[in-house]
Amino acid sequence: MRLEHVAIWTERLEALKDFYVKYFDGVPNEKYINNKKQFQSYFLTFQSGARLELMQMVGVPANKNDRVVAQHQGIIHLAFGVNTMTEVDEKAKELAHAGFPILSGPRKTGDGYYEFETLDPDNNRLEVTTLFTA
């Protein structure tokens, strides 16, 4: 069994799609529009085959969790894997240069990863990670 996709509600559908296309090489499908429900979405497919569904619909309330500072139960981040520690460092520099905050790292974790944390344009937490060898 495999995880098919993860979905995110947003009020800025195009900006979020453009972020994942530009910085994480997501390949979007053609925008789906359901005028009756005032719903729009994109599926972005990544190299691994994993997909991210970005959705926008009138009337969906804002998330009241503080996803930037505090941690809450439930899904807390998406992780993107790269092959080397150098790629982690390069992606951190690229995103920082583009104005996205680096919340932690790059750093080695106690469970064998080298990673950093950042935020997408909607303040969803992201990790970019790779396994490291001592």
Answer yes or no: do 89 and 126 share one domain: yes
Pairs from 82-88 (Cβ < 8 Å, separation ≥ 24): 82/128, 82/129, 82/130, 83/130, 84/130, 85/114, 85/130, 85/132, 87/128, 87/130, 88/114, 88/115, 88/116, 88/128, 88/129, 88/130
78-107 pLDDT, tens per residue?
A: 999 999 999 999 999 999 999 999 999 999
Domain count, the chain: 2
| Low-confidence residues in the chain, pLDDT < 50 | none
CATH, residue 28: 3.10.180.10
Domain, as residue range, for 51: 5-57
pTM for this one? Answer: 0.91
